[in-house]
Structures are given as structure tokens and as C-alpha cells.
């Protein structure tokens, strides 16, 4: 399966009592599909996977699969700094119908490049689900080096990389080293367009939670050969992209969805806390400037 275009890293709505708000999640998923995104990624960083129990992981992925009904692909977040736990989560995601899995590079324990390689190879061999590795050194304290990604691109079942390292030079080297058909997706919304220009095939996006049609337009136009149109869509969304990362994700994006009336309340789980007023003011201004379709 090919994963390209705009994939929304969808939030996990919570009720006031802290439980997963299944009704709000259902409505969000249906809106995303209707808005024309190319796929959904539940239980990623934006979905607050770090504070979801294993049962909640399965609950959320299952519900997204049920609502989507095969209309677009679903890549479930199943990463862990424990290889055995990642295997278990990936097997569960496959069992409930996910089309692929996104796995953050092991965090905190800071493995060597050899350890990172064997982490992903083991999960691919044990689960049989198409895997996308996730490089985000700002959250993991380690980096998947381009040479390691090149090796991974030759492992059956490892089909792509979500790149959120913020370094276009290293991303260029990665793209030069990977096998043909291996998909690199942007993990930084504001770098999506330049990454497409050097060979990326799409984005796993936070901004698409709030502006799905507009975010999908960037990748769709570029992949169809309309670089000028993609550039115009990029600049239109840039103020919102910036506002959504003024505080740790997903604090601003949940707040934005509540402002738009897409979720009842921007409930977060500790240690995340409600947005600061100065940030909310900038976020509201960015939302006001965004043309609604």
C-alpha cells in the first residue's frame, strides 16, 4: 500500500470526566473524510498516545476504523521505547483493521543506530503490518540517521519515514539513500512544501485537524504538478501552522477545535495543561484570518 498526500494526525477528544469522547471522535473522523484528507493517523503524538492506556489505544483505533469504513487508509500510532510493547500495540492495531502503523523512534533509552534498526526490523517481522518509522529528535533525544533509514528501506514491511527532524539537509541525504518506493512524509507542517520539493510524498499533519481541506490542497496540488498553487496554499496556512505550535502539541490544536465547535471542550490529560491567554489570542487571530471553505 502507498501512503502519500495529507494524513491527519487526529486528536483524541476527552470528556470532562477524562474518558475518551467517542461521539466527538466519530464526528471528527467523519468531517475529516468528507473534507478530502488522504488518510488518518490515530494515537500519535497529537492524539496524546503517551497518556492513553493500551485498552484506549485499541478503542480509538477500532472506532476510527469503524467510522472510516475503508474510504481512506488508517495508520495507527503504535510506537514505544520497548520493542516488545510496540510489537503488541502493532498487532492489536492490525487486528482491529488498521492499514499501517506509525512508530516513534525509541525515546529516553537512547539506543544506538544499530538498536534503532533492529527495533524496527523486529516489529516488521513480528507483525506483518506496513510500518512507518518516525524521526523526531526533539521528543526522543536521539535521531534516526539517514544511513539507518537507508538500511530500513530495504527491510520488508518498513515502507516509509515520518521526518520531523527539522533539517532539510539531512532529509535530502535520507531521500538520496532510501530504496525506490520508500515514502518519506513530512512531520513538520511548515516544512511540508520544501520537503515535497526534494522528494517527500506527503505529510502527517497536525494542522489538518483544523483545516483539512486547506492542508490537503498543498500536497494535492504539488503532487499534481501545480507548484505555484501549492505555494499559495502553503502561505495561506502558514500563520495557522505557526500558531498551532506556540505551546506543546496538542494544546493549541485542541483549543482551536473547541473554538471552531468541532469538539465540546479542549480537555487534556496531565501533564498537559490549558492554553495560556496570550497564546489563545494569537490562535484566535490566526483562525480568523483563515478563509473557511
Asked if 241 and 38 touch (Cβ cutoff 8 Å), the reply is: no
Asked if 57 and 49 touch (Cβ cutoff 8 Å), the reply is: yes
Query: What is the reported pLDDT for 2?
Result: 82
Query: What is the reported pLDDT for 192?
Result: 98
Residues 6+ apart with CB under 8 A from 117: 148, 151, 152
Which residue in this structure is represented by grid cell 500563520?
239
Query: What is the reported pLDDT for 293?
Result: 54
**Dist CA 267 CA 265 (whole Å):** 6
What pTM was computed for the model? 0.95
Encode 81-104: b = buried (16+ Cβ within 10 Å), e = exposed: bebeebbbbbbbbbebbbbbbbbb
Asked if 133 and 162 touch (Cβ cutoff 8 Å), the reply is: yes
Nine-digit cell string for 127: 507483525
Query: What is the reported pLDDT for 80?
Result: 96
Annotated catalytic residues are: 134, 162
Q: pLDDT digit string (tens) for 90-103?
A: 999 999 999 999 99
Helix axes of 277-289 and 251-259: crossing angle, nearest 10 degrees: 60
Nine-digit cell string for 51: 497518556
Query: What is the reported pLDDT for 289?
Result: 85
Q: Which sequence spans correspond to the domains of the chain?
A: 5-226
User: In the chain, what percentage of residues exceed pLDDT 90?
Assistant: 97
Going through 37-130 in order, the beta strands assigned E by DSSP cover 39-40, 75-77, 100-104
What is the DSSP code (8-state) at residue 51?
Answer: G
Query: What is the reported pLDDT for 271?
Result: 97
Query: What is the reported pLDDT for 292?
Result: 62
Nine-digit cell string for 214: 486547506
Written out in words, the top-level CATH class of the domain with range 5-226 is alpha beta
pLDDT less than 70: residues of the chain? 291-293
Query: What is the reported pLDDT for 290?
Result: 82
Amino acid at each position: 500500500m502507498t501512503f502519500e498526500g495529507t494524513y491527519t494526525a487526529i486528536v483524541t477528544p476527552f470528556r470532562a470526566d477524562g474518558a475518551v469522547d467517542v461521539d466527538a471522535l466519530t464526528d471528527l473522523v467523519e468531517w475529516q473524510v468528507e473534507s478530502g484528507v488522504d488518510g488518518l493517523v490515530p494515537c500519535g503524538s497529537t492524539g496524546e498516545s503517551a497518556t492513553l492506556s493500551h485498552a484506549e489505544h485499541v478503542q480509538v483505533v477500532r472506532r476510527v476504523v469503524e467510522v472510516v469504513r475503508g474510504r481512506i487508509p488508517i495508520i495507527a500510532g503504535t510506537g514505544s521505547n520497548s520493542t516488545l510493547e510496540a510489537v503488541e500495540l502493532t498487532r492489536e492495531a492490525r487486528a482491529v483493521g488498521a492499514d499501517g502503523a506509525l512508530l516513534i523512534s525509541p525515546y529516553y533509552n537512547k539506543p544506538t543506530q544499530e538498536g534503532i534498526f533492529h527495533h524496527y526490523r523486529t516489529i516488521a517481522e513480528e507483525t506483518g503490518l506496513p510500518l512507518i518509522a518516525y524521526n523526531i529528535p526533539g521528543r526522543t533525544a536521539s535521531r534516526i540517521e539517514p544511513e539507518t533509514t537507508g538500511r530500513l528501506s530495504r527491510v520488508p514491511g518498513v515502507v516509509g519515514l515520518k521526518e520531523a527532524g527539522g533539517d532539510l539537509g539531512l532529509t535530502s541525504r535520507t531521500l538520496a539513500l532510501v530504496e525506490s518506493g520508500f515514502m518519506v512524509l513530512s512531520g513538520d507542517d511548515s516544512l511540508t512544501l520544501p520537503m515535497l520539493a526534494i522528494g517527500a510524498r506527503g505529510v502527517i499533519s497536525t494542522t489538518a485537524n483544523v483545516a483539512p481541506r486547506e492542508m490537503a490542497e498543498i500536497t494535492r496540488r504539488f503532487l499534481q504538478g501545480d507548484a505555484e498553487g501549492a505555494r499559495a496554499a502553503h502561505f495561506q496556512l502558514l500563520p495557522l501552522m505557526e500558531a498551532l505550535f506556540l505551546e506543546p502539541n496538542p494544546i493549541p490544536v485542541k483549543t482551536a477545535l473547541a473554538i471552531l465547535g468541532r469538539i465540546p471542550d479542549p480537555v487534556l490529560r496531565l501533564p498537559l495543561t490549558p492554553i495560556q491567554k496570550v497564546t489563545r489570542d494569537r490562535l484566535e487571530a490566526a483562525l480568523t484570518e483563515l478563509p473557511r471553505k
